[in-house]
Chain A
Amino acid sequence: MRYLMPLMLALLLALSSCGRSPEPREADLIFVSIEHKFLDPQRMTWLHDIRIGECLFEPLLRFRLTDMTVEGATAERWEVSKDGLTYTFHLRPAAQWSNGDPVTAQDFAFAWRRALLQEFACDYSQFFFRIKGARDFFDWRTEQLARFNQSGADKPGAAKLWEQTQKKFKETVGIATPDDLTLVVTLEKPCPYFIELCAFTTFVPNHRASLEKEIKLNDSTGLLEMDDTYWTDPKRLIGNGPYVLVRRNFKIDLLLHQNPCYWNKAGMGNTSILEKVSEDPQSAMMIYNNGEADWLPDMPTASALAADLVAQKRSDVHLVPSVATYFYNFNCSQTLPDGRKNPLSDPRVRRALSMGIDRDTIVRQVTRLNQPTAVTFTPPGTLPGYQSPVEAGTHYDIEAAKKLLAEAGYPGGKGLTGISILFNTGQGHETVAQFIKRTWEEKLGVVVTLEPMEQNNFADRLKKHEFTISRASWFADYRDPTTFLDKFQTGNGNNDPGYQNLGYDERLQQAESETDPARRMAILRDAESLLMSEQPIAPIYHYVNLHVFNADKVKNMNLNAWNFRRLELVKVEK
């Protein structure tokens, strides 16, 4: 028996030496990600989709990642009028589509108009509402389509409506193309972060000539229709980014090669990218450990694997703060869906419950990733020029929480009934909810039930405000506090707590018309202070992103809190 173990080990070692020889590298940069939802740049909302969108399409401007300033991309320069309302972009004459056609201002106008048409269901269409007349155009089109569908459709009607739509867009929306290389955008009000929006994937151009052939008018609905698979077909997709799509094997991989017509080929650090698809983090890790991938950008931070990787203190594991917040919604309406009075309509109850959340223990022992604990909705120090009002937030303080509960009429938690935590299953939400439930029950005497729910049903319940407390998260889209604060305006579709405060709405409106950047930030800070004093939400922690790569080998990764990528700059040393 004593010889068995050494013998077996020797056998294993001998066998391991005759394993498969490593497969030849198919690309300069290889990474593992999950399957894509969309490759249509105007419909992308998921981070892993946007990452590929940035490779295939180039917007007017891009972030210089070392200092996070905006620099020219397809536009070589731009001017802003003194009143901050008119932006004139001058396109590079050298900018070309992957088929050799020049990129024109009309290609941008076409793509932006497409994003403003409901039928193309662009989740981020509201980003264009900063442009003069865009919101009116969007609403007008919605109304016209509804009227068209009610009035009984006929063929000339649909064509006429589309003709009117084009005319309306041209006449009312502040997008003009005086020549092929000039794009003039007029805003509704000054928008200090508009220039950064122009670097966002939704704002990239479309190859107008090829897309126009794909888009058909539905005579019976008046809607424009396009086969979504257009975008995933490497033979048909025409982009203006650093790469072209060479291959897409659904659920297997996606191969990108350098765009032969890209204007800045000399500035690229690699000429090809292979994205392998794996839905299982353990398998992704094994691919990486076997040397078959250089980078794992999408390791789920809620997994035990992530916590274990961090605990191992590996030099190739990189934790990066993210501009995103994990929090709990408190239903703020006066009555609950079943007609009972809602105890959470009292801000004192909400504050007390928020004070009863031991955030430090959650990030140390439950999530085990030591995320920055959150007392404000906006992650402090991440939004340029903005100071999050941390003094207005709540900290773990059981005695103060008990006092507030007693003041609100619930001494020792007595009478505070019907409280439940609604959460979607998976991604570690259950363990966080269990921990908070136990703390509230043991320390505050508040009895809480847990309501786990699958994702779609959970989203539906949130939309209908059918909950008392629900878990939530919010990821910033652009570098301005309004990316967070707009969410809690009265009537906002994502205002899940149903929070209504005229003072808060007024402050946000005031900030919209304020032209002095410092004063504007002060107003927004004031708004968030008010929000935090009323606690329609209990912030818990700010997210982190976990990347796995060997920094000695993979250069120019430029990790940042915004997850802005410039994959064309990444260089992998062989």
Chain B
Amino acid sequence: MPRFILWRLLQLPLIVAVVFLVTFTLVWWLPGNPLLRPDNRPSPEIERALLAQYHLDNPVTFMGEYLRDALHGDFGPSLQFRDQRVSDILRAGLPVSAAIGAAALALAVVLGVAAGMLGAVRPGTFADWMSQSVVLIGVSLPAFITGSVLLVIFGGLLKWFPVSGWKWNDPGYLVLPALTIALGPAAYIARLVRLGLADILNDDFIRTARAKGLPPRKVLFKHALKVAFLPVLSFLGPAAAVTMTGSFVVERVFSLPGIGTHFVTAVLNKDQFLILGIVTIFSTMLIGFNLIVDVLYAAVDPRIELT
């Protein structure tokens, strides 16, 4: 196991470097000029000065300067918000997105596993029908609908939660965005658990466990759920990366200062510095989460060998 982790950690910079190079190439040749505005453009002299200021007049210079600064933890300025450094934007936005994402993921696991178990243990009952309906809603409704509805009811009408913004010392700001993000993954987890449990509950080892006289609760939680949870675990790696790197829609609806909005608008604005900074961080996170999932997978299922 330690050799596997070390090997994967050694691979990480190489994979990130490849992702960075591919992104840089694509972004550099992305059509459009980030320094131009449709309705009022700077004079050619000012445009040239801007290009020189941000090293956008030469890909080699740009790359050289960028890598030199990036190695010192500075991903350059944002071309969209020019008095902000990308590193500062990431430093401010990532913790917010990560906090909401982590809460959403925890919520998704709890809701999803509960709904899936309910369906698998009592198929065809009202509880199964209810959990399936919730799953269907979670899968079908886009976040901007669920987010807006939650916002109007629990923020606007009931005033239980704040309608916008972010404060670290108030968990109230976390609830509605986390719930909005959680619904989709929760639905997926519920389906995985329901299907997995339905199969496993008919397996020989479960019958044996029951025949040995183990209480049904212990059979379900200790034996069946542990195995049924494996597909959920492999889903959690990429899901963690996706939820913890922010959501454009949820951040806009709840006016959150996360990183998800930047990921989309940076591409639309051809904000090279921000795109490269975000992609570097995201790819590192994705690889990291997958590594954690692999390790957890092996810990849960001893049949799996990490090589």
Instruction: Name A's B-contacting residues (CB within 8 A).
Output: 12, 15-16, 19-20, 23, 35-40, 43, 45, 118-119, 121-123, 125-126, 138, 142, 221, 223, 225, 228-232, 249-253, 276-280, 282-284, 286-287, 289-290, 292, 424, 454-460, 462-463, 472-475, 493-494
Flag if B165 contacts A253 (CB, 8 Å).
yes
The answer to whether B157 has its CB under 8 Å from any CB of chain A is: yes
Roughly how many angstroms separate A494 CA and B42 CA in the complex, as a whole number?
Answer: 9
The answer to whether B116 has its CB under 8 Å from any CB of chain A is: no
Roughly how many angstroms separate A331 CA and B110 CA in the complex, as a whole number?
Answer: 60
Q: Give chain B nearest CB distance to A491 CB in angstroms.
A: 11
Please give me the 8 A-B residue pairs with the lowest Cβ-Cβ distance, nearest first.
A19-B159, A456-B32, A251-B257, A459-B36, A118-B49, A278-B255, A457-B32, A228-B83
**Of B31, B81, B159, which contacts A36 at CB under 8 A?**
B81
Given contacts A38-B83, A494-B40, contact A16 B46 (CB under 8 A): no
Q: Give chain B nearest CB distance to A103 CB in angstroms.
A: 23
Roughly how many angstroms separate A231 CA and B83 CA in the complex, as a whole number?
Answer: 7
The answer to whether B82 has its CB under 8 Å from any CB of chain A is: yes
Roughly how many angstroms separate A9 CA and B220 CA in the complex, as a whole number?
Answer: 40
Given contacts A249-B257, A279-B261, contact A462 B38 (CB under 8 A): yes
Roughly how many angstroms separate A486 CA and B253 CA in the complex, as a whole number?
Answer: 41
Flag if A493 contacts B43 (CB, 8 Å).
yes
Count, chain B residues at interface, CB 8 A: 57
Roughly how many angstroms separate A456 CA and B33 CA in the complex, as a whole number?
Answer: 5
Extra contacts besides A19-B159, A38-B82, A251-B257 (8): CB < 8 Å: A118-B46, A118-B49, A230-B83, A279-B261, A283-B252, A460-B36, A462-B38, A494-B41
**Of A12, A250, A462, A473, which contacts B84 at CB under 8 A?**
A250
Flag if B159 contacts A223 (CB, 8 Å).
no
Q: Give chain B nearest CB distance to A118 CB in angstroms.
A: 4
Q: B258's closest neighbor in chain A, by CB?
A: A251
**Which B residues lie within 8 Å of A37 (CB)?**
80-83
Interface string of B20-39 (1 = CB under 8 A from A): 00000000000111101111
Given contacts A277-B255, A459-B38, contact A282 B82 (CB under 8 A): no
**Which A residues lie within 8 Å of B53 (CB)?**
119, 121, 223, 225
Roughly how many angstroms separate A458 CA and B42 CA in the complex, as a whole number?
Answer: 15
**Which A residues lie within 8 Å of B60 (CB)?**
none
Given contacts A121-B42, A252-B257, A494-B41, contact A287 B164 (CB under 8 A): yes
Q: How many A-B residue pairs have CB under 8 A?
A: 170
Roughly how many angstroms separate A118 CA and B50 CA in the complex, as a whole number?
Answer: 8
17 contacts between A and B (CB under 8 A): A19-B158, A38-B82, A40-B83, A123-B42, A138-B45, A223-B49, A225-B53, A229-B88, A249-B257, A252-B257, A280-B252, A286-B151, A289-B156, A456-B32, A456-B269, A457-B32, A459-B41
Q: Give chain A nearest CB distance to B112 CB in angstroms.
A: 27
Flag if A455 contacts B160 (CB, 8 Å).
no
Q: B252's closest neighbor in chain A, by CB?
A: A280
Flag if A474 contacts B84 (CB, 8 Å).
no
**Which A residues lie within 8 Å of B105 (CB)?**
none
Flag if B158 contacts A16 (CB, 8 Å).
yes
**Which B residues lie within 8 Å of A45 (CB)?**
37, 40
**Which B residues lie within 8 Å of A292 (CB)?**
163
Roughly how many angstroms separate A129 CA and B52 CA in the complex, as a whole number?
Answer: 23
The answer to whether B270 has its CB under 8 Å from any CB of chain A is: yes
Roughly how many angstroms separate A37 CA and B83 CA in the complex, as a whole number?
Answer: 7
The answer to whether B304 has its CB under 8 Å from any CB of chain A is: no
Flag if B172 contacts A20 (CB, 8 Å).
yes
The answer to whether B162 has its CB under 8 Å from any CB of chain A is: yes
Flag if A280 contacts B43 (CB, 8 Å).
no
Q: Give chain B nearest CB distance to A275 CB in angstroms.
A: 12
**Which B residues lie within 8 Å of A253 (CB)?**
165
Interface string of B148-172 (1 = CB under 8 A from A): 1001100111111111111000001
Given contacts A37-B81, A286-B156, contact A251 B46 (CB under 8 A): no
Of residues 202 to 236 in B, which have CB atoms within 8 Å of A's CB atoms? none
Roughly how many angstroms separate A463 CA and B31 CA in the complex, as a whole number?
Answer: 13
Roughly how many angstroms separate A41 CA and B165 CA in the complex, as a whole number?
Answer: 27
Q: Give chain A nearest CB distance to B92 CB in angstroms.
A: 5
Flag if A456 contacts B270 (CB, 8 Å).
yes
The answer to whether B297 has its CB under 8 Å from any CB of chain A is: no
Q: A225's closest neighbor in chain B, by CB?
A: B53
Given contacts A119-B53, A251-B257, contact A290 B156 (CB under 8 A): yes
**Which B residues lie within 8 Å of A459 (CB)?**
32-33, 36-38, 41
Flag if B160 contacts A19 (CB, 8 Å).
yes
**Which A residues lie within 8 Å of B50 (CB)?**
121
**Which A residues lie within 8 Å of B2 (CB)?**
none
**Of B162, B165, B269, which contacts A252 at CB under 8 A?**
B165
**Which B residues lie within 8 Å of A15 (CB)?**
158, 160
Roughly how many angstroms separate A493 CA and B92 CA in the complex, as a whole number?
Answer: 38
Q: B37's closest neighbor in chain A, by CB?
A: A459
**Which B residues lie within 8 Å of A279 (CB)?**
252, 255, 261
Roughly how many angstroms separate A37 CA and B40 CA in the complex, as a whole number?
Answer: 15
Given contacts A424-B38, A460-B32, contact A125 B253 (CB under 8 A): no
**Which B residues lie within 8 Å of A118 (CB)?**
45-46, 48-49
Given contacts A228-B77, A458-B38, contact A283 B253 (CB under 8 A): yes
**Of B32, B159, B160, which contacts A290 at CB under 8 A?**
B159
Flag if B163 contacts A455 (CB, 8 Å).
no
**Which B residues lie within 8 Å of A35 (CB)?**
81
The answer to whether B93 has its CB under 8 Å from any CB of chain A is: yes
Of residues 173 to 193 in B, which have CB atoms within 8 Å of A's CB atoms? none
**Of B39, B83, B89, B257, which contacts A39 at CB under 8 A?**
B83
**Which B residues lie within 8 Å of A16 (CB)?**
157-159
Interface string of B63-96 (1 = CB under 8 A from A): 0000000000000010011111100110011000
**Which B residues lie within 8 Å of A223 (CB)?**
49, 52-53
Flag if B159 contacts A20 (CB, 8 Å).
yes
The answer to whether B18 has its CB under 8 Å from any CB of chain A is: no
Q: Give chain A nearest CB distance to B278 CB in angstroms.
A: 15
**Which B residues lie within 8 Å of A460 (CB)?**
31-33, 36
Roughly how many angstroms separate A457 CA and B37 CA in the complex, as a whole number?
Answer: 10
Roughly how many angstroms separate A301 CA and B242 CA in the complex, as a whole number?
Answer: 33
Roughly how many angstroms separate A250 CA and B39 CA in the complex, as a whole number?
Answer: 26
Flag if B151 contacts A455 (CB, 8 Å).
no
Flag if A20 contacts B252 (CB, 8 Å).
no
Q: Give chain A nearest CB distance to B48 CB in angstroms.
A: 8
Roughly how many angstroms separate A112 CA and B83 CA in the complex, as a whole number?
Answer: 20
Q: Give chain A nearest CB distance to B300 CB in angstroms.
A: 39
Roughly how many angstroms separate A319 CA and B203 CA in the complex, as a whole number?
Answer: 70
**Of B89, B152, B158, which contacts A12 at CB under 8 A?**
B158
Q: Give chain A nearest CB distance to B61 CB in angstroms.
A: 11
Flag if A287 contacts B257 (CB, 8 Å).
no
**Which A residues lie within 8 Å of B163 (CB)?**
283, 286-287, 290, 292
Roughly how many angstroms separate A251 CA and B83 CA in the complex, as a whole number?
Answer: 13
**Which B residues lie within 8 Å of A249 (CB)?**
92, 257
The answer to whether B302 has its CB under 8 Å from any CB of chain A is: no
Roughly how many angstroms separate A230 CA and B261 CA in the complex, as a whole number?
Answer: 25
**Which A residues lie within 8 Å of B151 (CB)?**
283, 286
**Which A residues lie within 8 Å of B159 (CB)?**
16, 19-20, 290
Flag if A283 contacts B93 (CB, 8 Å).
no
Q: A49's closest neighbor in chain B, by CB?
A: B83
Q: Give chain A nearest CB distance to B161 CB in angstroms.
A: 7
Roughly how many angstroms separate A328 CA and B230 CA in the complex, as a whole number?
Answer: 59
Roughly how many angstroms separate A521 CA and B49 CA in the complex, as a whole number?
Answer: 36
Q: B46's closest neighbor in chain A, by CB?
A: A121
The answer to whether B124 has its CB under 8 Å from any CB of chain A is: no
**Which B residues lie within 8 Å of A43 (CB)?**
82
